Amino acid sequence: MREFAFDLKINAAIRVRAATEADARGLLIAALDCADTNFGAWPNGDPITGEASLDFDPDCMDFIEAGQLFEVDGETVIASSEDYRITENESGFTLTRVADDASASWSGDDQCEDFRHAFKGDETPDCPTDNADEVNAFAAWAIREGHLAPLA
Does position 42 have pLDDT exceeding 50, yes or no?
yes
Rounded Cα–Cα distance for residues 81 and 140 (Å)? 13
- Cβ neighbours of residue 62 closer than 8 Å, sequence gap 6 or more: 56
Q: Tell me, what DSSP letter sits at residue 110? A: H
- Please state the rounded mean pLDDT for residues 3-11: 82
CB-count exposure of residue 39 (10 Å: 0-12, 13-18, 19+): exposed
Residue ranges of the domains in the chain? 21-60, 71-144
Q: What is the pLDDT of residues 75-127, one digit of tens each?
A: 999 988 889 999 999 999 999 998 888 999 999 999 999 999 999 888 777 77
Q: Which of 63, 65, 67 is nearest to 135 (CA)?
A: 63
pTM above 0.95, yes or no: no
CB-count exposure of residue 73 (10 Å: 0-12, 13-18, 19+): exposed
Q: What is the pLDDT of residue 97?
A: 93
Residue 59's pLDDT band (cuts 50, 70, 90): low
Q: What is the pLDDT of residue 130?
A: 80
Q: What is the pLDDT of residue 43?
A: 95
> Which residue spans within 53-107 are E strands per DSSP?
71-72, 75-80, 84-88, 92-97, 103-107
Does position 61 have pLDDT exceeding 50, yes or no?
no
Q: What is the pLDDT of residue 44?
A: 94
> Please, are residues 87 and 96 in contact by the beta-carbon 8 Å criterion?
yes
Mean pLDDT score across all residues of the chain = 86
